[in-house]
Amino acid sequence: MQQEKVEQTLVLIKPDALKNSVTGFLLSQLSEYHTGSRFAGAKIVQVSRMLAEQHYAAHQGKPFYEALLDYIMGRAHYPDDAWKRRVIAIVYLGPGALKKVRSVAGPTDPHVARDEQPGCIRALGTVVPIKNAAGEVISERLDNLIHASATHDEAEREIKLWFTPCDIPPLMRTYPTDVCEEHYYLKDGELSDTYEPGSVCLFAPGDVVWSSDLELLRSCTRNAQAASSCDVVIAKYLINRNPLDD
């Protein structure tokens, strides 16, 4: 039998799964026993709009986009209890992990999942109509309990978006890292190499960082680009830092 390549994939246990208390079931379905993959990283995240926008950047402009952001930010399932809004982000590592986890998750649309793959995780999901101001249904929000990266490129982008290298044990990391030699601070949406009161320190000398993150921050400061072009790096360094605005 041909050896399957060891891969990494990002899984998100979405707010509807947490609200419906099916987390244990999902983790069990994703266990090494079922998928042959192992946990390489895990964190509980209250999702900011910046992180949600970066995660679902490919869907910007679609009729369900705003509803999708509300969903992943936990606003849809916890409109009044902001403190309960969270997802569980997990990195899985194993042979053929991408395909196996997508298969355990099942088709995107819960109705299709129930028809075509009863027993998959997304078969337990819900479909919520999205209406315009006139009350007409313009799209659907698919509350499908779990996110799983679809391709290698998507997995790399998503794992680097949600996790720093130090969230993952060194022998389980598969993307190149560097040791940063400079400071990068963020204040009022501006990047800087100098601390001022109110600055957030993104990178400090000696930090282990994704090589691609370091390149992007360097090019942003060198070319005086807007810090927002580095949101894909910045978002993860703001995870769980301060309470989010409602």
Binding site for ligand CDP (CB under 6 A): 64, 68, 108, 139-142, 144, 147, 150
Annotated catalytic residue: which of 34, 147, 152, 183?
A: 147
Which of ligand CDP, Mg ion, none does residue 78 bind to, with CB < 5 to 8 Å depending on kind? none
Q: Degrees (nearest 5) of the Cα angle 197, 203, 209? A: 165
Judged by beta carbon, residue 111 or residue 183, the one nearer ligand CDP is: 111
Which of ligand CDP, Mg ion, none does residue 140 bind to, with CB < 5 to 8 Å depending on kind? ligand CDP
- Residue number of the CB closest to ligand CDP reads 108
Q: Degrees (nearest 5) of the Cα angle 170, 173, 174? A: 145
* Least CB distance to ligand CDP at residue 72 (A): 8
- Residue number of the CB closest to Mg ion reads 150
* Least CB distance to ligand CDP at residue 29 (A): 16
User: How many whole angstroms separate alpha carbon 88 and alpha carbon 57?
Assistant: 20
* Least CB distance to Mg ion at residue 130 (A): 18
Where do runs of H (alpha helix) occur along the chain?
Answer: 15-19, 23-29, 32-35, 49-55, 65-72, 97-105, 110-116, 152-162, 211-222, 231-237
- The upper half-sphere exposure of residue 81, i.e. CA atoms within 13 Å in the direction of its Cβ, equals 7
* Least CB distance to Mg ion at residue 197 (A): 41
How many chain residues touch Mg ion (CB under 5 A)? 1
Judged by beta carbon, residue 98 or residue 124, the one nearer Mg ion is: 98
Q: Which of residues 142-171 bind Mg ion (CB under 5 A)?
A: 150
The number of beta carbons lying within 10 Å of the beta carbon of residue 175 is 16
* Least CB distance to Mg ion at residue 118 (A): 22
User: How many whole angstroms separate alpha carbon 22 and alpha carbon 119?
Assistant: 14
Judged by beta carbon, residue 140 or residue 167, the one nearer ligand CDP is: 140
Judged by beta carbon, residue 141 or residue 183, the one nearer ligand CDP is: 141
The number of beta carbons lying within 10 Å of the beta carbon of residue 3 is 7
Q: Which two tokens stand for residue 61?
A: 């402009």
Per DSSP, the three-state class of 119 is: coil
Look up 147 and say whether it is catalytic. yes
Residue with tokens 């419906």: 20
Query: Which residues are designated catalytic?
Result: 147
Applying CB under 5 A, which residues contact Mg ion? 150
